[in-house]
C-alpha cells in the first residue's frame, strides 16, 4: 500500500542524514574493519590525545556516509553499559538541520523527550549546535546544525591524515531500519508523524512478509522532502521465532536493525566488498531462474547479478538492486544493505520471501529458530 499524495513540508528544515554513531567495544579495531573491509576513510578522532579521558571516537567517511565509532575508556561510562547490554550497535541517528534551536523547540512543543536541549560547542573551526531526543529503546536522534562549522566533524575531534584502504563506492545513507517489539510499530509510526512531522510511505503486513515459519510487519516513515526514510519492523505471529524476535532477544530491546547505503554501481561495490571478505546473505540459485521474466530489461547483466548474489525488484516507478550483509558482529543484530535505485522508491518487497528463507536458514544454524 503506497501513500497517495506527496507529504506536506517538514515543520523544521531537514538537510539529510548527518551521521550514524555506534557504541562499540573497541573503536580502534572497529575503525580498522570499516576502513579495510567497507572502505570508510578515517577522517577525525577524539580520545586521550585530544583531552577526552572517558571515550575514544573515530569518524569514518565514504561519499556522504559518515559513521562515528565510539568506545568507553572506563568501566562506568554509559558506552560501556550500552555495549554490555546491546553489544556493538547504533546509539545515535544524526540528522542535519538548518536550525537546531528551531528544531528542538518544535520537537519539545510536540512532546518529544528531550535528552539534550540545543547546545553550542566551539573550537577553532567554528560553532556546532546539537540537540538530542529519545527514540526507541536506548537509541536517540541527534539534530546537528553545522552551517557555522568548518571542522572535520565536531569540536573535540582532531582531523586525521591517513589514506585508508580506499572506498568501494558507497555514496549515501538510503534508509535506516528499526526493530521494535510486537505491538509497538504503530506507536512509533505515530511518533514519527507527531514528533517529527513525517508521513507514511509504505505499509507491509504479515501477508506481504511471511514464510512458513516467520513473519513481520513493517511501516516506512519518511520526511517531507523524502530525504530520510525510516522503516519500522515488528514481529508477527509465526510458527517459529521471527528474525525480528531473534534481533530483539540478542540486542535486549528495540534498536537499529540495518543501515542501507546507496551505490551507483552495485556490481563494482559488491565485487570489491566480497574481495575484502564481507559476507553476504545468499539466496538460493532458484531465485534467478525466473528473474528475467519477472523483472524485464535492466542495465545490468543477469549472470553477473547471480554470480554476486544481488537481488532485483521492480515497481511502477522503476527497479532497484539490493544485497544484505551477514550481521557484522557476533550477536545476530546489526547488518548492512547495499542498494542501487533506478527510479524505484520501494524496499525490495518482491525479494522478501526469498530473503527470509535464507535468513531462516542462518537463524537455524545459530540455533535461534
Ligand atoms: Fe532495507
pLDDT along the chain (369 residues), means of 10: 54 95 98 98 97 97 98 97 98 98 97 98 97 98 98 96 96 98 96 94 79 80 92 86 93 98 98 98 89 93 96 95 98 98 92 83 88
pLDDT of residue 119: 98
Instruction: Show the cell assigned to 217.
Output: 510487519
pLDDT of residue 8: 61
Give the residue among 85, 254, 92 at the shortest CA–CA distance from 183.
254
Secondary structure of residue 218 in the 3-state scheme? strand
Q: Output the CA 151–ligand 1 centroid distance in Å.
A: 31
Instruction: Show the cell assigned to 178.
Output: 528499526
Q: Output the CA 156–ligand 1 centroid distance in Å.
A: 33
Q: Which CATH number fits domain 14-159: 3.30.1300.10, 3.10.180.10, 3.40.50.300, 1.10.8.60?
A: 3.10.180.10
Q: Output the CA 31–ligand 1 centroid distance in Å.
A: 23
pLDDT of residue 2: 43
Q: Output the CA 130–ligand 1 centroid distance in Å.
A: 27
| Residues forming a β-bridge with 158 | 45
pLDDT of residue 203: 86
The domain 170-366 belongs to what CATH superfamily? 2,3-Dihydroxybiphenyl 1,2-Dioxygenase, domain 1 (3.10.180.10)
Q: Report the alpha-carbon distance of residue 229 to residue 189 in Å, rounded.
A: 12
Q: Output the CA 346–ligand 1 centroid distance in Å.
A: 9
Q: Output the CA 142–ligand 1 centroid distance in Å.
A: 21
Q: Report the alpha-carbon distance of residue 12 to residue 101 in Å, rounded.
A: 10
pLDDT of residue 1: 38
Outline which parts of the chain fall under CATH 3.10.180.10. 14-159, 170-366
Residue tagged 513540508 (cell numbers):
9
Categorise residue 239: left if φ over 0, alpha if ψ from -120 to 50, beta otherwise: alpha
Q: Report the alpha-carbon distance of residue 238 to residue 182 in Å, rounded.
A: 12
Amino acid at each position: 500500500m503506497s501513500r497517495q499524495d506527496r507529504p506536506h513540508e517538514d515543520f523544521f528544515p531537514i538537510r539529510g542524514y548527518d551521521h550514524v554513531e555506534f557504541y562499540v567495544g573497541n573503536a580502534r579495531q572497529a575503525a580498522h574493519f570499516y576502513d579495510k573491509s567497507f572502505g570508510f576513510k578515517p577522517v577525525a578522532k577524539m580520545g586521550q590525545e585530544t583531552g577526552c579521558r572517558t571515550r575514544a571516537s573515530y569518524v569514518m567517511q565514504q561519499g556522504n556516509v559518515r559513521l562515528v565509532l565510539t568506545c568507553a575508556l572506563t568501566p562506568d561510562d554509559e558506552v560501556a553499559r550500552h555495549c554490555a547490554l546491546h553489544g556493538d550497535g547504533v546509539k545515535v541517528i544524526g540528522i542535519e538541520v538548518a536550525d537546531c534551536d528551531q528544531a528542538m523547540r518544535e520537537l519539545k512543543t510536540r512532546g518529544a523527550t528531550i535528552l539534550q536541549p540545543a547546545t553550542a560547542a566551539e573550537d577553532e573551526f567554528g560553532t556546532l549546535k546539537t540537540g538530542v531526543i529519545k527514540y526507541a529503546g536506548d537509541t536517540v536522534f541527534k539534530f546537528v546544525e553545522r552551517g557555522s562549522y568548518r571542522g572535520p566533524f565536531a569540536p573535540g575531534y582532531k582531523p586525521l591524515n591517513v589514506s585508508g584502504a580506499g572506498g568501494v563506492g558507497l555514496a549515501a545513507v538510503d534508509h535506516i531500519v528499526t526493530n521494535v517489539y510486537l505491538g509497538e510499530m504503530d506507536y512509533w509510526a505515530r511518533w514519527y508523524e507527531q514528533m517529527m512531522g513525517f508521513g507514511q510511505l509504505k505499509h507491509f503486513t504479515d501477508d506481504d512478509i511471511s514464510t512458513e515459519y516467520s513473519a513481520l510487519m513493517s511501516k516506512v516513515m519518511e520526511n517531507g522532502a523524502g530525504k530520510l526514510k525510516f522503516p519500522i519492523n515488528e514481529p508477527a505471529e509465526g510458527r517459529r521465532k521471527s528474525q525480528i524476535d531473534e534481533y530483539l532477544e540478542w540486542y535486549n530491546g528495540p534498536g537499529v536493525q540495518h543501515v542501507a547505503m546507496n551505490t551507483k554501481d552495485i556490481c563494482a561495490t559488491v565485487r570489491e566488498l566480497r574481495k575484502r571478505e564481507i559476507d553476504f546473505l545468499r539466496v538460493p540459485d532458484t531465485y534467478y531462474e525466473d528473474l528475467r521474466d519477472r523483472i524485464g530489461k535492466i542495465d545490468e547483466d543477469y549472470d553477473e547479478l547471480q554470480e554476486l548474489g544481488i537481488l532485483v525488484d521492480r515497481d511502477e516507478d522503476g527497479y532497484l538492486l539490493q544485497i544484505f550483509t551477514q550481521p557484522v558482529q557476533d550477536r545476530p543484530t546489526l547488518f548492512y544493505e547495499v542498494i542501487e535505485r533506478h527510479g524505484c522508491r520501494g524496499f525490495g518487497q518482491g525479494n522478501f520471501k526469498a530473503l527470509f528463507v535464507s535468513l531462516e536458514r542462518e537463524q537455524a544454524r545459530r540455533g535461534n529458530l
